[in-house]
Structure 1
Amino acid sequence: MTIRDVARRAGVGVATVSRVLNGTGYVKAETRERVLAAAAELGYVPSQLARGLVRRLSGTVGLVVPDITNPFFPLITRGVEDAASEAGYTVFLCNTDNDPVLEAQDVRKLREHRVDGIIFVGTTERRELVDQLLADDIPVVVMDRQLEHADVDTVTVDNVAGAQAACRHLIELGHRRIAHAAGHQSTRTGQDRCQGYRMALEEADIPYDPACVTWGDFTFESGFRVGQVLLGLSPRPTAVFAGNDLIALGVIRAAEEAGLSVPDDLSVVGFDNIQMAALVRPGLTTVRQPAREMGRLAMTMLLERIRGEFSGPGRRHVYPPELIVRGTTRRREPLG
């Protein structure tokens, strides 16, 4: 008989059962009674020896990112390491290449190294992986993606609002044929930014054209391919909202190869505000999310869990986006 059996009988997560049996953290009275009843029915008695052992901290945490070549993720990593270093912690960095199999392997290695906690950045939504970690008393924080889990803290930016701000900017400049070079369709981030795009069009009474949305991934190469598709439409879009800055830069390259000038012939807006966005010419209009600050906060929240300073339900911190207007957008002159 294990804690998982009790969780299954009570219809709750293993972390909830652990909090009830250990008398730590917040649990609703009704849920507490259900867990205790399930434990009694199954005859489950937790090991007093295991409960009495003092947890040995390793002074290490894991940071799991999907693509370290994307300039956005090193900014987050810097913020995590800032807070970790101040607390005397070492960060083990794992790159999954957006591969769930590699992600599972990395988590297994981190557990073998007995890390005190793990931060997942923009990774796949695998509840079973998180549940296993929580069952082993390894706290988890998720960044750049919402995870509907009662025991996990999340740090994100409002992707819907950011996409709306980007598209409203284009609409205010007179654009009505606006395309969306989207990221991964399977990710919450990609879906939310597409939703914000569609909401901005609806607010302006601009009909939604499915042909103006092309999905890919969050890379420069994908932006180039998607840009070629979108610029081949008839009528051609006068503006493109890209799922991130790398996609936007790929779209700009596709426009250049098609003999189009940005922003004279095509306005482009990205998302993230990576360092390169301010260095290219013209500078990339984009939506800023405070990556380094987000990384620092995620590490701070994880440390609070590790040290037992906070043991309540999962916290949600959503940063407001900020539109940064540079040189890749301009007013659309009326025809004639």
Structure 2
Amino acid sequence: MSTIKDVAALAGVSFTTVSHVLNNTRPVSAQARARVLAAVDEIGYLPSAVARSLRRSETKIVGVLVPNVRNPFFAELVVGVEEWCRQAGYSVFLCNSDNDPKHQQSYLRTLLEKRIDGLLLSSAGDTETLATTFRHASVPVVTVDRLVPGARADRVSVNNQVGAAAAVRHLLDLGHRRIGCVSGPAEFEVTQERVAGWRSALRERGLEADDGWLIESDFSTAGGYEAVKTLLTRQPELTAVFTSNDLMAMGALRAAAELGRSVPRQLSVVGFDGIELGSYIYPAITSVGCSIRDLGREAGRALIERIENPQAPFKDLQLTPQLVLRESTSAPLSSEQA
């Protein structure tokens, strides 16, 4: 591999002159600059990013740690983050914790050791350990989608309770009265808020949510399938199901088909997130959400602003989700079934 001294020898200048040309740290004559750049091109020299970061105390790299890259929500989110960071001159180092808090902590240590300039995190759990780590780390942090209580960090999220209530109101407006709910893991704030939205929308219409209508799952398609199959077997009177994300709604479609319940004629299904994939399956999933890409851009913007202005007050930005009407919801068959 070529070195800065090789460039200097070929250009006929000192290696400090080469450094000044590459880093714009001191004026260099046009002739010397031209010789240095020609030499760099000829031998294919690449400056050491590590050495440059040590000199400048910056790497122009941000870490993004998400719980599941197989979930289209996080894939779309990362695209938005990367778009904003690239425009700001930063590269993105992506890590997938695979919903494992131990993997999450390991990746977090690795990212901090790599001297990243900032971290964007969507928690996979163990928020107490995360908050402790953040208190001892000097790197700017933005959390997205999932709260880390006690962390000194900006947060960008969706208003989960408002979105869930809008989804359930849609079902109520169609005439449904027995509406099940498939939640995510109970320890997550996002789960608690979406379940609260389900309950509050029913209560607005003078209905109380039966505890038997609620079942916990894991935000995965397979989890949604198993949960809805169990829920409909135990509670066959349900005419609609609100699932706490779109992946579980996709699993719900399979469960309904296996139980002989056509969607939406015999069972309406509404999800949360509004992922792009939900519009291409059949029936396309009615959902609530905002542009996930925009959510990622806002998170990227918040992180770059925090890096560039570390003393600014912390922000908590919430986007309001909107109902996306598709094919998986309709009025119940009859008033007797509703």
Q: Same fold (TM over 0.5)?
A: yes
Contact 1:243–1:270 (CA under 8 A) maintained in structure 2 = yes
Alpha-carbon shift at residue 325 of structure 1 (Å):
0.9
Contact 2:179–2:213 (CA under 8 A) maintained in structure 1 = yes
Q: What corresponds to 2:325 in structure 1?
A: 325
The code of the aligned residue for 1:305 comes to R
Question: Which secondary structure state, in structure 2, belongs to the residue aligned with residue 300 of structure 1?
Answer: helix
1:75 maps to 2:76: yes
Distance in 1, Cα, partners of 2:328 & 2:243:
12
Normalised TM-score (structure 1):
0.80
Alpha-carbon shift at residue 334 of structure 1 (Å):
1.5
Q: What corresponds to 1:291 in structure 2?
A: 292
Distance in 2, Cα, partners of 1:237 & 1:218:
21
Structural mapping, 1:110-259, within 5 Å: 110-124=111-125, 126-149=127-150, 151-259=152-260
Distance in 1, Cα, partners of 2:151 & 2:125:
17
Structural mapping, 1:303-314, within 5 Å: 303-307=304-308, 309-314=309-314
Q: What corresponds to 1:315 in structure 2?
A: 315
Distance in 1, Cα, partners of 2:218 & 2:137:
34
Alpha-carbon shift at residue 182 of structure 1 (Å):
1.3
Alpha-carbon shift at residue 315 of structure 1 (Å):
0.6
Distance in 1, Cα, partners of 2:147 & 2:188:
10
The code of the aligned residue for 2:289 comes to R
Contact 1:130–1:140 (CA under 8 A) maintained in structure 2 = no
The code of the aligned residue for 2:273 comes to D
CA RMSD of aligned residues (A): 1.8
Distance in 2, Cα, partners of 1:310 & 1:63:
18
Question: Which secondary structure state, in structure 2, belongs to the residue aligned with residue 301 of structure 1?
Answer: helix
Q: What corresponds to 1:26 in structure 2?
A: none
1:92 maps to 2:93: yes
Alpha-carbon shift at residue 291 of structure 1 (Å):
1.3
Distance in 2, Cα, partners of 1:102 & 1:291:
25
Per mean C-alpha deviation after superposition, the further-off stretch among 284-293 and 162-171 is: 284-293
Distance in 1, Cα, partners of 2:331 & 2:252:
19
Per mean C-alpha deviation after superposition, the further-off stretch among 143-152 and 213-222 is: 143-152
List gaps (5 residues or longer) in structure 2. Answer: 1-53
The code of the aligned residue for 1:297 comes to E
Question: Which secondary structure state, in structure 2, belongs to the residue aligned with residue 293 of structure 1?
Answer: helix
Distance in 2, Cα, partners of 1:265 & 1:99:
37
The code of the aligned residue for 2:266 comes to D
Distance in 2, Cα, partners of 1:110 & 1:297:
22
List gaps (5 residues or longer) in structure 1. Answer: 1-52
Greater C-alpha Rg: 2
Ranges of 4+ aligned residues in structure 1 off by more than 4 Å: none
Structural mapping, 1:12-23, within 5 Å: none
Residues 125 and 161 of structure 1: CA distance in aligned 2, closer, same or farther (over 3 Å): farther
Contact 1:134–1:140 (CA under 8 A) maintained in structure 2 = no
Alpha-carbon shift at residue 298 of structure 1 (Å):
1.2
Question: Which secondary structure state, in structure 1, belongs to the residue aligned with residue 195 of structure 2?
Answer: helix
Contact 1:151–1:313 (CA under 8 A) maintained in structure 2 = no
Distance in 2, Cα, partners of 1:190 & 1:314:
24
Q: How many residues align?
A: 283
Deviations 1:200-236 (A, max 9, x none): 1111111221110000100000011001111112442
1:102 maps to 2:92: no
Distance in 2, Cα, partners of 1:206 & 1:237:
14
Question: Which secondary structure state, in structure 2, belongs to the residue aligned with residue 270 of structure 1?
Answer: strand
Distance in 2, Cα, partners of 1:267 & 1:128:
40
Deviations 1:230-272 (A, max 9, x none): 1112442000000100101101100001111100000000001
Contact 1:152–1:313 (CA under 8 A) maintained in structure 2 = no
Alpha-carbon shift at residue 160 of structure 1 (Å):
0.3
Contact 1:150–1:313 (CA under 8 A) maintained in structure 2 = no
Distance in 2, Cα, partners of 1:334 & 1:302:
51
The code of the aligned residue for 1:317 comes to L
Alpha-carbon shift at residue 149 of structure 1 (Å):
3.8
Question: Which secondary structure state, in structure 1, belongs to the residue aligned with residue 272 of structure 2?
Answer: coil
Question: Which secondary structure state, in structure 2, belongs to the residue aligned with residue 232 of structure 1?
Answer: helix
Normalised TM-score (structure 2):
0.80
Alpha-carbon shift at residue 295 of structure 1 (Å):
1.1
The code of the aligned residue for 1:299 comes to G
Question: Which secondary structure state, in structure 2, belongs to the residue aligned with residue 195 of structure 1?
Answer: helix
Contact 1:139–1:302 (CA under 8 A) maintained in structure 2 = yes
Distance in 2, Cα, partners of 1:128 & 1:55:
30
Contact 2:127–2:149 (CA under 8 A) maintained in structure 1 = no
